[in-house]
Structure 1
Amino acid sequence: MFDYDSAAIAAILGTSLDAVFTIDAQGLIVDTNPAATRMFGWQREEFLGANISLIVPSPLKEKHDGFLRAFRPDRGVKHVLGSGQRLDGLRKDGSRFPVEVGISAFERDGQRYFTGFVRDMSERQHAEDRMRYLALHDAESGLLNYRGFAEQCAAAAGGERRMAVFRIEEFRRFSVAYGERWSIATVQEIAARLGTALAPHEIAGRVREDSFALWLGDDAGTRIETLAAVLREPYALDTTVFLLTVTFGLSAPGGDFASLLRTAQWACYRAGAAGRGGINAFAEGLQQSVVRELGIESRLREAVRDNLLTLVLQPKCRLADRRIVGAEALVRWSDPLLGAVPPAEFIPLAERLGLVGKITDWMLQRSLAEIAACPDPTISVAVNFSALDFYHPDLVVRLCDSLDKAAVPPDRLVVELTESAAVHDVPLVNGRLQALRALGVGISLDDFGTGHTALAYLRQFAVDSLKIDIAFVRDLPDSSPALGVTRTIVALARGLGLETIAEGVETEAQAATLRELGVDVGQGFLFGRPLPPAEFHRRVREQMESARL
């Protein structure tokens, strides 16, 4: 055994977790410690006299002796490899593993020797690899996240490339309704489908909660059709099957990663109602509308935060005698920089930004406060709820809290829900409707007649009234199809014991036709534009005074 100067040093090396080798100037091993045997699998007797390259894989194995010969202490070089060098080690069974190596030189009895300290870095390397994986991948789906997607796209740059972005339209409201388990299962299913459908040169990433990006080749137009068909197949969780609306945006050709992603996102998110569920290619002129929309997004956050929205009340009148029997609460926003922004423009943005819940809560509180101040205690107020609001599990609690704070009886509040939102998940929606009805709140199904499946489910819904969509009212009395649809809706409502409300009434001819068809209530400019609450209360007082005469 090589004679150490100190038995204490030998004892320390014997218990070290690092492998320690002592080699001569020719690279032959003259001593090792027990950790070397545990780490590399060779017995001490096999090590002694063998070249240290025994534990070094190619191509470094063939160069190792050259490092020792190149060692020149006269030039002040004290270390062959210094310390902390990350290399690969070679076990007896031929497996490779990461090690950290430090080799230094010393002289004894006129002979040069080298001491190598080798640390097994397998666990640390695994931890580092795991940390890097987590830094570059989405934790829920396993797809690349934005950073990882950008890195891989940069590495794969070359040739004609286009970007596609797709989003799941129902993702937010279904995540609210069914919770994290549904969202994780859905994004994992999306990832699995992409994993089997993508070509080797194509890359996928999850770049936002509800949207994903695809890095495609010059055949993007054809490929996106194929991928769209795969992603639109039904999804299932337990025994429930979901049909999800997948909207695609295809970038402009050419440009760097940032511009490709940006134009794909613009095409996807600014597609509008006509492009919902379709494949939308970026078009010139879209950028101008995007700039306005981005300005609206920024200002809308401030408006919601600083309570800069305005409430107006539109009268709802009984067609038989034109008496005001209720009001619909509507939100308005006039911005100092943007001017008046229509609800049809900022409400969809509020849904995407996650602000619609705050707007609905504000609307509910203000509406109930105003109806509490209304001089006629029989008048009710209708408040529109988005699908995202309605699917929220705290809906009933929020309503109860608002009613208690305003000290308003539940029967003076009407919750309006669009037909399209109602038919998407009938069991869940009906459960909410039953809870609201038990509370005493009125329920109105808005935009009725525009959906394709409402008639099949209407018997199940616990609703009190149907609002005939403006699209049919607008064409009265001259359109035979509009007359036929309205007549059918009225007959259906009567058979179910429901009230009918026509919105968008603007002419006396429309009002007369609706009254003849048996519609109960009308709403529109003929009966009054949306009014400030004080003006609405004034009209109600005048109506009450007129009734006393």
Structure 2
Amino acid sequence: MGGFLELLQKPNVATGVAVFVLVALAGVFVSFIRSGRVRRSRDLALRKERSMRKQFEAILSSARDGVLIISRTSEIVVLTDMAAHMMGIDKSAVLGTPLGQLPFKAVDEHGRPLLVQEVFAPGRDDDRPRVIGVPGRRGSEDVRWLQVKSRKVPDAVDGDSATVTTLMDTSGLQEAAEALNRSDAQFRRAMENAPVGMALVDLEWRLMAVNRAFATMMGSTVAALRGTPFSALSHPRDVQAEREQLQRLYDGLQNHFSLEKRYVRADGNVVWAVLDVALVRYAGGAPDHYVVQVRDSTDDRLHSELMAHRAMHDPLTGLANRTLMQEVLQKVLDQPDATSRVGVIAVDLDGFKGLNDRFGHAAGDSALVHVAGVLRSATAGRGTVARIGGDEFVIVVQDSDCGKALYEIAGAIHAGLKRPLQVKRHQLNLHCSVGIAMADGDTVAGGAPSLLSAADAAMYRAKALGKSRTEVYDPSMQSTNDHHSVLGGELAKAIEHGDLVLHYQPVMDLASRSVVGYEALVRWQHPTRGLLLPGAFLGLLDDRKLATELGTALVELAAAFLAQFPEPGVWVSLNVSADQLGDSEFANSVLSAIARYRLSPQRLVVELTEASLVAPNTRIRHELTELRNAGVPILLDDFGTGVSPLSYLRDLPVSGVKLDMSFVAGIPEDPSGARVSRALGALARELGLATIAEGIETESQADFLSRCGWKYGQGWLFGVAQPAAAVFAMGLPFMESLIEARPQELDNPFDLPSARSAH
């Protein structure tokens, strides 16, 4: 030690030692500095690793798909919460366990069990995912469907390879696919079995699929129609309208369209159908295909046309009625050359009333049908032939040489009637009086009524000059001061003197065939012209006051008849037109007569004619309501004709309806008439209305109407209208036995509901 100290005391040695110590200390310090940097780097790397692990675990836990990582030694290394939930296992219990011990059951798409190793075996990257089912606790219906895809990843766990499996829950997609398949199958079955035609059509308007109903409608087969251009089935005249609607649909101007059009069947026949088309679009709005429904409307259209025809034509002869004739006449008068091309012929049979009285109404009808044929033949397409009532006919002629045509037609009418009409064993000789009127400035200005009045005046001049002849109108005739003015003046006196009488036609209970009431029909016992039917004089009631006086007089006659009738349940219906209502005078006369003769209000029935003239919320409606509230029944006459009667049933205080005889005429042979009669009867019964059918002529008609629910009926089968004295003479013994046999049933044979506050 001492030697060492001595050595240090030497200057050179001491300096060297000092330098050595300093160098050593510097080395230690540098080494310390470097080790601190390493520790900080390592700590930073550990923190980054922990952060990345947390991020990885957060991503795995928040992902909608489950993840399962299996080591090379088949141990479960990673199992996310979502994967554990999908597989229905406890995550903490399986981490680190071998795959073979995994408590997991799976089945394939057909329900066959799968091994765990088979489920999670790695495949190629281009393999399709495997679909497995995880059964639940509620049997085969409680299955969670998973899409499983496994692949081997090198250096995945501690530098060694591992199998990474992703699991996606496709239960919702599977259910949606199954629902879509079910919906498609249901649509296909509904389409195939639909009673109406259905089709799927592509954007080129070609048939992709059709059902049997559509093929049957087109007279073809499903296979033959598939791929056919839809327009090829259309009637050529309807193609353009169809194309226009399709273009509007394709352009988004409408969501669907409905079009009634014609199709040509494979056999060449034409059918009417209602075409309903909707365009199916993709989610983005691009068009995809059309869904089409085709409903056969041929029967409906024919029925509609039949109803329209019946509303504008005479049911007996098939000729145009007064309404259609006036429309046609006014239309041709509105043309610029009417004064040189238009004329009217008025025809009235001579002695028709005597024919009816001698041979009966059936022979009279045969005569009218025969005359209608003669008029058609004589006109030869040069005009419109109409029956305007009774034995009165009108021909509207339009011809370039109208004057010549009018004379030729008139001559042909007289020539045609020279041939006798054979009715049973009798030959009837028919004659007629003809009046001709050419359109001129005055008649054109006056419209259809003016020209008709002129022809009518000429016809009456022909009758006055000996009948069975033709007369041409000239202004000197002045029809308003001629026959009609004279007869109109006589009518006013006849009402005042009581020359108008009522004849009564029985109304029968169709089930029991017993009389329950009568319809009162007015007649004029003219001192020189004999008994006149309503058609000969009711048209003269242009004066409202005169019409009201007539109504009051007839109410008095009907009430007196009922007061003398032995059966208190029998009723009488009285025809009342719209122009007799509105000022409460008619209602007052009815109620006064009921009180004066001490009648039950239900025995005097108001039968409303010309209901089309009654607008809602008018004084006429209020007067009818006043009568109905007092217990007087209101019948709607001519039910089912003209414009729809539904509004009348809704707006008027109706107690019952009378089926128009035009519907009865052809039944039961006429299927259209039968269907209409049945439908109208069902409608009336549904509304709680009394039902009466007019114009019954045969037993088969009476039986059919009774089976269809029509309770009462009247017509020639049960008797024609008779004077009151004849009714009493024929009916008293019968009524006495009837009263004795069933007194309670006759208390209220009309069986009307009480006054309805709804009206």
**Coarse TM-score class (shorter-chain normalised):** 0.5 to 0.7
| Residue correspondence of structure 1 range 47-86 to structure 2 within 5 A | 47-61=225-239, 68-69=246-247, 71-73=249-251, 75-79=252-256, 82-83=257-258, 85-86=259-260
Tell me the CA shift for residue 123 of structure 1. Answer: 0.7
Match of 2:372 in 1: 191
| 172 and 63 in structure 1: CA distance in 2 versus 1, 3 angstrom threshold | closer
| 250 and 12 in structure 1: CA distance in 2 versus 1, 3 angstrom threshold | same
| 355 and 66 in structure 1: CA distance in 2 versus 1, 3 angstrom threshold | closer
Indicate which of 304, 311, 334 corresponds to 1:135.
Answer: 311
Tell me the CA shift for residue 3 of structure 1. Answer: 7.1
Deviation track 1:162-202 (CA, whole Å, cap 9, x = no partner) reads 21111112112221332221111111111222333322223
| 303 and 66 in structure 1: CA distance in 2 versus 1, 3 angstrom threshold | closer
| 394 and 70 in structure 1: CA distance in 2 versus 1, 3 angstrom threshold | closer
Distance 1:281 1:296 in 2: 21
Q: Say what the alpha-carbon RMSD is for the aligned residues.
A: 3.9
Q: Is the 8 A contact 2:201 2:290 kept in 1?
A: yes
Tell me the CA shift for residue 267 of structure 1. Answer: 1.4
Determine whether 1:218 maps to 2:392: no
Match of 1:206 in 2: 387
Q: Is the 8 A contact 1:270 1:290 kept in 2?
A: no
Q: Is the 8 A contact 1:249 1:267 kept in 2?
A: yes
Tell me the CA shift for residue 345 of structure 1. Answer: 9.3
Indicate which of 105, 118, 125 corresponds to 2:294.
Answer: 118
Deviation track 1:137-157 (CA, whole Å, cap 9, x = no partner) reads 211122222223334445666
2:532 aligns to what SS in structure 1? helix
Tell me the CA shift for residue 308 of structure 1. Answer: 4.8
Match of 1:429 in 2: none
Q: Is the 8 A contact 1:232 1:246 kept in 2?
A: no
Match of 2:583 in 1: none
Query: More displaced, 258-267 or 109-118?
Result: 109-118
| Residue correspondence of structure 1 range 353-392 to structure 2 within 5 A | 353=534
Indicate which of 268, 276, 283 corresponds to 2:459.
Answer: 268
| 299 and 8 in structure 1: CA distance in 2 versus 1, 3 angstrom threshold | farther
Q: Residue 56 of structure 1 aligns to which amino acid in structure 2?
A: S
Determine whether 1:150 maps to 2:340: no
Q: Is the 8 A contact 1:297 1:349 kept in 2?
A: no
Distance 2:235 2:200 in 1: 19
Distance 1:294 1:78 in 2: 62
1:205 aligns to what SS in structure 2? strand
Indicate which of 361, 366, 371 corresponds to 1:180.
Answer: 361
Match of 1:160 in 2: 341
Deviation track 1:30-75 (CA, whole Å, cap 9, x = no partner) reads 22122111111222122222221132122444785675455445x5
Distance 2:241 2:465 in 1: 67
Tell me the CA shift for residue 291 of structure 1. Answer: 3.5
| Residue correspondence of structure 1 range 205-284 to structure 2 within 5 A | 205-216=386-397, 217-219=402-404, 220-254=406-440, 255-256=443-444, 257-271=448-462, 273-284=464-475
| Residue correspondence of structure 1 range 452-463 to structure 2 within 5 A | none
Distance 1:78 1:95 in 2: 32
Tell me the CA shift for residue 112 of structure 1. Answer: 1.5
Relative to the length of structure 1, the TM-score reads 0.53
Deviation track 1:79-129 (CA, whole Å, cap 9, x = no partner) reads 2xx12x211112122322211111111124765211111111111111112
| 238 and 309 in structure 1: CA distance in 2 versus 1, 3 angstrom threshold | closer
Q: Residue 33 of structure 1 aligns to which amino acid in structure 2?
A: N
Determine whether 1:290 maps to 2:467: no
Match of 1:102 in 2: 276
Match of 2:206 in 1: 28
Tell me the CA shift for residue 246 of structure 1. Answer: 1.3
Tell me the CA shift for residue 131 of structure 1. Answer: 1.1
Distance 1:187 1:53 in 2: 49
Tell me the CA shift for residue 22 of structure 1. Answer: 1.1
The size of the alignment, in residue pairs, is 332
Query: More displaced, 196-205 or 155-164?
Result: 155-164
Tell me the CA shift for residue 274 of structure 1. Answer: 2.1
Name the structure, 1 or 2, with higher relative contact order (CA <8 Å, separation 6+). 1
Structure 1: state its 5+ residue gaps.
311-342, 363-391, 402-549
| 99 and 299 in structure 1: CA distance in 2 versus 1, 3 angstrom threshold | same
Q: Is the 8 A contact 2:322 2:387 kept in 1?
A: yes
Q: Is the 8 A contact 2:202 2:208 kept in 1?
A: yes
Distance 1:41 1:208 in 2: 46
Distance 2:496 2:486 in 1: 15
| 211 and 4 in structure 1: CA distance in 2 versus 1, 3 angstrom threshold | farther
Determine whether 1:89 maps to 2:280: no
Q: Is the 8 A contact 1:26 1:68 kept in 2?
A: no
How much identity, in percent, do the aligned residues show? 16
